[in-house]
Structures are given as C-alpha cells and as structure tokens.
Amino acid sequence: MAQIEINGAKLELNDEGFLTDPSQWNKEVAAFLAKAEEGLETLTDEHWSVINFIREHYLQNNLAPMVRSICKTTGLPLRRIYELFPSGPAKGACKLAGLPKPDGCV
C-alpha cells in the first residue's frame, strides 16, 4: 500500500499501483498515475478518449470494457492502444481510469 496526496486529498494505491477506492478518481488522479505508473508526462486527447470511455463503462457496468469496445467507441486502431498505454489496456489504461485491477492473468 502506498499513500499519495493530490490537491490536499489523501489517496491510497494498492501494491500494484491501482486506486484502492475507485470513487476517489478524478482527472488529476489520472494525470498523476499517468506519470507515476506509465511515464507519460502529458495525456493527449487520444489518451483521454480511452480513459473517459473506460471510466464511463465502469461506472455503468462495474467492469472494464473489452478492447473491442474501446476501439469501436474511440475510433482508434487496435495497435494504437498499446502505443498510447505502454502497460496495455489493463495495467495501463484501466489503472489510469481508476478501475480496480481486473481478474485473470493481468
């Protein structure tokens, strides 16, 4: 467990860098995690289109979306997703969108 502080708010990350309480997420948290976890200095519109869709999907379904839905909704080609998020859709994009770690081999 690691404690971080963003704009005065204290947040907790689990041992894999995922937000312990997904409800504490906001855009500043995403930007912080982007830098700390993915080495991304800035988040572009392409990043945000992926992050925002994942976040909305999670709030509605309590689950991470399929990478197919991410591509279909954002219009980004599959290969681009892995370029945008070096750790991939799960440990990269979903983490930045404040989701808990998905089950399975990830």
Q: Is 22 an interacting residue with respect to other proteins (CB under 8 A)?
A: no
- Is 94 designated active site? no
Q: Is 98 an interacting residue with respect to other proteins (CB under 8 A)?
A: no
Residue 87 near residue 37 (C-beta atoms within 8 A)? yes
Exposed, middle or buried, 100 (CB in 10 Å: 0-12/13-18/19+)? middle
Give the interface segment with other proteins, choosing from 4-12, 23-31, 45-53, 97-105 (CB under 8 A): 97-105
Interacting residue with other proteins among 54, 91, 97, 98 (CB under 8 A)? 91
Interacting residue with other proteins among 51, 53, 58, 89 (CB under 8 A)? 89
